[in-house]
Homo-oligomer: A and B are copies of this chain.
C-alpha cells in the first residue's frame, strides 16, 4: 500500500509522452495529487501546481512518485539529489521503472536512515497463496482483450469512476505498474512466479459486500502467444461475473507478434466465456469497449452500431461516448429488479 497524496516527479522528461504514468495518475486520481516537480529542461507539463519538495510536504504529500520514463527505464543521475531530498523530507518514493529504487545504494541508505519506504511496483514484495478456486461473495468484472494494449485499463478505470458517481461500491483492482501507482495498491502480475499467479488475483479480489464490484485490470490476451498464460490466471483467479471485451479495430496484427491476425470479437467472447465458466458458471459477457480514435465521428458511430447489432451487446468507445451503458449492464446483474 502506497501512502497518498502524491507529489508527481517529472524529472527532465524529454517530451509529454515520457510522463504518461504521471499523466495517468493526474487524470484518474486528481484528488490524490498535490502537485508536480519538474527539473530544468523538463518538456512535460501536467498543468498543475509546480512544487518543491518542501512545499509538497507542507501540502501533505506522503509519497513522491517517479512518473517519468527514461530510455531503458533507468534512474537518471540528474534525478538523484531530488529523490534523496524527498526521503530526507518525510516522503516515501514509488516507481514503476525497470530499474529498482532499492538497487541504488545512495537511495537505499537515505531511505533507511530516514525510515522511509521505497516502492518498486514492478517487483513482488510479498508471498501469495496458491489459488483455491472457491466461490466468494461480491461481484467481479474483468476486461479482456483481442490483443495487448487495447484499452483494458482505461475502460476499467472509467467504469470505476462511473460506478462511484452513481454511489455504487466499486474498487479498481490494479494488476500492472501504472494501475498500481494510480490506485496506490495492487499486484504486479507480470512479475509473479508462475505457480502463484491465480492465487495473487484471488488475494487481490477477496470476499466482499454482496453489492460491491471489484473492477479488475486485465493483462495480455488469451490470444497473445507471449502473455496468454498471465491472462488465463486472471480469468481463473479473478473468477469474474462479468467480462468486457476490449478491441482496437485499427490494429492489423497482434502487438509484438508479426504474422498473427487479431481474433474476431466473437472468438474473444466465446473463448473467454468458456474459460471463465470453469470457475464461475454464472459469468456473462456484458459489453464491448473499442478504441475508435483512428476513425472519423461518422465511421466510429457506424462501427459501434454494426458491432452492437452483430454481438447483441452494448458497445462503446469510452473516450467518445463514456461507459454509461457498460455500468448499466453491470448493475443489471448485481441489483435485483434493476
**Chain A residues engaging chain B, CB cutoff 8 angstroms:** 130-134, 189-195, 197-199, 222-223, 225-233, 236-237, 239, 254, 256-257, 259-260, 263, 271, 274-275, 278-279
Contact = CB atoms under 8 A, between A and B. Distances in A.
Given A222-B232, A226-B236, A228-B275, 14 more contacts: A133-B257, A133-B259, A134-B259, A189-B194, A190-B195, A192-B194, A193-B194, A194-B194, A194-B233, A195-B230, A198-B228, A198-B229, A199-B226, A225-B236
Nearest to A133: B225
Task: List 6 tightest A-B contacts by C-beta distance, closest first.
Answer: A229-B233, A133-B225, A229-B229, A190-B195, A131-B226, A225-B236
Contact of A237 (B192, B225, B278): B225
Contacts of A233: 194, 228-229
> Chain B CB within 10 Å — which of A190, A192, A230, A260 has the most?
A230
B131 A225 contact: yes
A60 B132 CA distance: 46
Contacts of A236: 225-226, 228-229
B192 A193 contact: yes
11 contacts: A133-B225, A192-B193, A192-B194, A195-B227, A198-B226, A198-B227, A225-B239, A228-B232, A228-B233, A229-B229, A229-B230
A192 B133 CA distance: 22
Contact of A271 (B132, B192, B274): B274
Q: What number of copies of this chain does the assembly contain?
A: 2
Given A232-B232, A271-B274, A130 B226 contact: yes
Contacts of A259: 133-134
B194 A230 contact: yes
A275 B270 CA distance: 12
Contacts of A133: 225-226, 254, 257, 259-260
A260 B193 CA distance: 24
Contact of A194 (B130, B190, B239, B274): B190
> Chain B CB within 10 Å — which of A189, A192, A233, A279 has the most?
A233
A232 B254 CA distance: 18
Given A132-B257, A133-B257, A259-B134, A229 B193 contact: no
Contacts of A225: 131-133, 198, 236-237, 239, 278-279
Nearest to A229: B233
A223 to B, nearest CB: 6
A242 to B, nearest CB: 18
Contacts of A239: 225
B193 A278 contact: no
B195 A194 contact: no
Contacts of A254: 133
Contacts of A226: 130-133, 195, 198-199, 236
Nearest to A201: B229
A197 B219 CA distance: 15
